[in-house]
């Protein structure tokens, strides 16, 4: 679709608006971590990343949608933004997922019968808390190796995910494609730390959407045979510690499992709100 076919009042933001857009989304940087990261890493004038805006009558923006590859991120300062207008814009675009602040997506959800809107807790870390010692237990990482994975080891990470109930369905039948995508992300700066038993990856934690202020912790998982030892907590702790040492102001992560939430709280994460992902039928 050419940009001349955009709905009335909607336009693609120019590269000169980079600072203005970053200031707009910077009002809630936790919710907009992906937008900030994509703009800083790819700019607004390239082919991979674009921001489409609706100007507000009094100046600034009424809402904006970032497009990166096949995904979209929605943001607005206005909790009563015109969801019908955003829906009309999205009808002209092909997409897999629209993500963003949950309360904003709830309004859009009404226009997508049969779609799936998922909700997770969004948490923020400003200082890594030391993990308390595991009383009466030996070192949980005894006998295991620990290091940052290289891009050419992306297949090992996808192989671990395929053995985890919470993610196996997302990767079944597309392991090679997923590994290639993960390899590209790691080449662009995403980071994964993992515990190894010999050459077998048994626990991992990753960081994505890195930018000048923050990054998102994702992909935390442990092989079923190695659970209960605190390996995921150790991997997240070491990953966060290194990211913060590099000068990040804060880190974020999503979770929807109360047990996982308790682990992250021990590390210093605190909830800031709810984040959502709307999966609807893509339009050609």
Pair of tokens at residue 213: 């202020």
34-93 tens-digit pLDDT: 999 999 988 998 777 899 999 998 888 999 999 987 789 999 999 999 999 999 999 888
pLDDT at 132: 75
* Residue 26 to residues 31, 36, 46, 122, Cα–Cα distance (Å): 9, 8, 22, 16
Q: What is the pLDDT of residue 166?
A: 87
**Mean pLDDT per 10-residue section of the chain, whose length is 284 residues:** 72 95 96 94 86 92 91 95 94 87 96 91 95 68 92 97 92 93 93 96 95 94 93 94 95 90 92 93 46
Domains of the chain in sequence order = 3-120 (3.40.630.30), 127-267 (3.40.630.30)
Q: What is the DSSP code (8-state) at residue 225? A: G
Look at residue 142 in the predicted model and tell me its pLDDT.
83
Distance CA 191, CA 149 (A): 7
> So what's the pLDDT on residue 170?
85
Cα gap 79→264, rounded to integer Å: 29
Using CA atoms, how far apart are residues 210 and 40, in angstroms rounded to an integer?
Answer: 9
Between vectors from CA 114 to CA 108 and to CA 117, what angle results, nearest 5°?
50
CA distance to 80, 164, 190, 244, 268, per residue, from 207 (Å): 32, 19, 6, 12, 17
**Residues whose CB is less than 8 angstroms from the CB of residue 113 and which lie 6 or more positions away in sequence, other chains included:** none
Other CB atoms within a 10 A radius of the CB of residue 239 amount to 24
Q: Of 221, 104, 108, which is closest to residue 157 (Cα–Cα)? A: 221
* Backbone φ, ψ for residue 209 (5° rounding): 55, 35
Q: How far is CA 110 from CA 94, 95, 97, 281, in A?
A: 19, 17, 15, 14
DSSP code of residue 152:
G
The 8-class DSSP code of residue 15 comes to G
Per-residue pLDDT tens over the stretch 49-62? 899 999 998 888 99
pLDDT the model gives residue 135: 59
Count other Cβ atoms within 10 Å, centred on residue 4: 5
């Amino acid at each position: 679709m050419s940009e001349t076919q955009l709905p009335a009042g909607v336009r693609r933001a120019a590269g000169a608006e980079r600072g203005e857009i970053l200031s707009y989304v910077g009002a809630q940087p936790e919710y907009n971590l992906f937008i900030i990261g994509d703009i800083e890493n790819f700019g607004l004038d390239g082919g991979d990343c674009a921001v489409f805006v609706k100007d507000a009558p009094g100046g600034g923006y009424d809402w904006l949608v970032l497009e990166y590859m096949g995904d979209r991120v929605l943001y607005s300062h206005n909790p009563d933004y015109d969801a019908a207008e955003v829906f009309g814009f999205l009808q002209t675009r092909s997409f897999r997922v629209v993500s963003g602040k949950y309360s904003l997506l709830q309004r859009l959800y009404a226009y997508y019968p049969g779609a799936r809107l998922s909700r997770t807790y969004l948490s923020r870390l400003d200082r890594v808390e030391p993990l308390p010692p595991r009383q009466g237990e030996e070192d949980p990482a005894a006998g295991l190796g620990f290091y940052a994975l290289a891009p050419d080891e992306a297949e090992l990470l996808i192989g671990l995910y395929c053995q985890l109930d919470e993610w196996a369905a997302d990767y079944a039948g597309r392991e090679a494609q997923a590994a290639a995508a993960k390899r590209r992300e790691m080449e662009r700066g995403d980071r994964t730390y993992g515990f190894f038993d010999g050459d077998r990856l048994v626990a991992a934690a990753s960081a994505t959407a890195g930018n000048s202020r923050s990054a998102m912790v994702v992909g935390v998982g442990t092989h079923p045979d190695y659970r209960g030892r605190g390996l995921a907590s150790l991997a997240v702790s070491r990953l966060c510690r290194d990211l913060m040492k590099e000068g990040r102001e804060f880190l974020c992560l999503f979770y929807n499992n109360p047990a996982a939430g308790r682990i992250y709280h021990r590390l210093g994460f605190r909830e800031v709100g709810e984040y959502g992902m709307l999966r609807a039928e893509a339009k050609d």
